[in-house]
Amino acid sequence: MRIQMPSSTFRPAWRSPRRLARCLLALACVLTLAVPERAFALSRVKDMASIEGVRQNQLVGYGIVVGLNGTGDTLNNIPFTKQSLQAMLERLGVNTRGATMRTQNLAAVMVTASLPPFATQGNRIDITVSSLGDAKSLQGGTLLVTPLLGADGEVYALAQGSVAIAGFSAEGDAAKITRGVPTNGRVPNGAMIEREMAFKMNDMRSLRLSLRNPDFTTSKRIAAAINDFMGADTAEPTDPATVTLQIPPKYNGNMIRLVTEIEQLKVEPDQTARVIVDERSGIIVMGRDVRVSTVAIAQGNLTVTITEQPQVSQPAPFSNGQTTVVPRTGVKVDTGEGNKLALVKEGVTLRELVDGLNALGVGPRDLISILQAIKASGALQADIEVM
């Protein structure tokens, strides 16, 4: 039996406008995924630069921590702790002049904090408490009211609260164990702001962006991105670390809107080819733009191994000899003659450079010397910074 289907069932997809559009859209998606796109490491301006003037301010103060369980300062050894205790008690109406005090339940401390930008009165900030004397631990202590001063000598916050430490210390007659630093602690929300830093951002007529990693190319790209967004030449790089922006008239009195829009602009940062070397820990960090000219490298160390295997020489039975120890010394010298030259081609990528250096079978210490030797020969197109 032969069954004949309607001709419309086998109609090609391209004969229907809707199906044709779907096919073209699917084909475009496949082609887009198949074509490799260059990946740019774009970063926000917010992550690369900061607004000049918008910064934290450091605060410092001197205070006393009380309530310690015999782990505080020794008053006879730490005179400033004793003087602080006497002055505090006199302010509270207690006269202790000439009296002998032997308490070890308090400690003199330095209190530090960072005042955030645009912080207002009544806000609270975290503080750090650090011992000054010979106190063994601040565990369980309470910081008394301590004024926190700025660089100008003015009081900007008052600190007080229970000290929380992350370490502990325990000891006996023959053993002692210490974990962390028990003489340093924090007081979360331990300081209340009493004075504000005067900074009127809306009165500014120009804005300066300070780059965290100064670079000529990066500052120029940031200025170009801002000008493209504004539609006018309002931004100009004044140096590798600064981009100056003249405030457009439509943003007068509304700096928050301007800063918010500028911070979200994305720019590809540039950096100098650099190799960072830490000889103490053997850490090596290379930038992506590090390049090496054609160079041949050979590495070999002179290794001298000395082993001592003394032997005991005993006399024959019924003889008048004595038992003696005969020294046996073995000396082995390895000059590394089996190591051959390794060729590093010109213009290799960072991955190829690392693979080539690893092929020599050297450790980080020898690798540091090799990189310095390549730099001295003029074949390494990068700066080497030794930490």
Q: Residue 313's closest CA among 324, 299, 303? A: 324
Q: What is the reported pLDDT for 273?
A: 81
Q: What is the reported pLDDT for 18?
A: 55
If phi > 0 it is left, if psi is from -120 to 50 it is alpha, else beta; for residue 149 that is: beta
Q: What is the signed CA dihedral for 11, 17, 18, 21, rounded to 10 degrees?
A: 110
Q: What is the reported pLDDT for 156?
A: 95
- Which range (56-60, 142-146, 212-216, 349-353) has the least confidence? 349-353
Does the pLDDT of residue 234 top 80, yes or no?
yes
How far does Cα 288 stand from its chain's mean position? Answer: 19
Confidence at 334, pLDDT banded by 50, 70, 90: low
Higher pLDDT, 354 or 101: 101
Q: Residue 299's closest CA among 347, 350, 363, 346? A: 363
Tell me: the pLDDT tens digits for 92-131? 888 877 777 888 899 999 999 999 988 889 999 999 999 9
Per the CB < 8 A criterion, the answer to whether 32 and 42 are in contact is no
Q: What is the reported pLDDT for 247?
A: 87
**What's the rounded mean pLDDT across residues 253-265?**
88
Does the pLDDT of residue 267 top 80, yes or no?
yes
Q: What is the CA radius of gyration of the chain?
A: 36
Provide CB contacts within 8 A for 255, sequence distance 6+: 201, 202, 204, 207, 247
Q: Residue 273's closest CA among 294, 284, 287? A: 287
- Which range (73-82, 246-255, 353-362) has the least confidence? 353-362
Residue type, 145: V
Q: What is the reported pLDDT for 211?
A: 92
Both tokens of residue 339? 């190591």
Dihedral pair phi/psi, residue 37, rounded to 5°? -110, 135
> 255-263 and 216-230 are packed helices; what angle lies between their axes, rounded to 10 degrees?
120
How far does Cα 285 stand from its chain's mean position? Answer: 14
Per the CB < 8 A criterion, the answer to whether 105 and 144 are in contact is no
Tell me: the pLDDT tens digits for 27-56? 444 334 433 444 457 889 999 998 888 888
Does the pLDDT of residue 322 top 80, yes or no?
no
CA dist 72 and 166 (Å) reads: 17
Residue type, 176: K
Q: Alpha helix (H) ranges present in 207-347? A: 216-230, 255-263
Both tokens of residue 119? 């912080």
Q: Alpha helix (H) ranges present in 316-363? A: 350-358
Count of residues making up the chain: 387
Both tokens of residue 164? 């929380």
Residue type, 295: V
| CA dihedral sign, ordered 111, 115, 121, 124 | negative
Q: What is the reported pLDDT for 3?
A: 42
Provide CB contacts within 8 A for 124, sequence distance 6+: 189, 190, 191, 192, 193
**What's the rounded mean pLDDT across residues 341-356?**
61
The domain spans of the chain are 57-193, 203-267, 275-308+326-386
CA dist 134 and 156 (Å) reads: 29
CA dist 123 and 162 (Å) reads: 18
CA dist 144 and 64 (Å) reads: 6
Per the CB < 8 A criterion, the answer to whether 139 and 168 are in contact is yes
The two beta strands, 57-66 and 142-149, are: antiparallel
| b/e code 180-210 from CB counts within 10 Å (16+ = b) | eebbbbebeebbebeeebeeeeeebeebbbb
Mean pLDDT estimate for the chain: 78
**How does DSSP classify residue 295?**
E
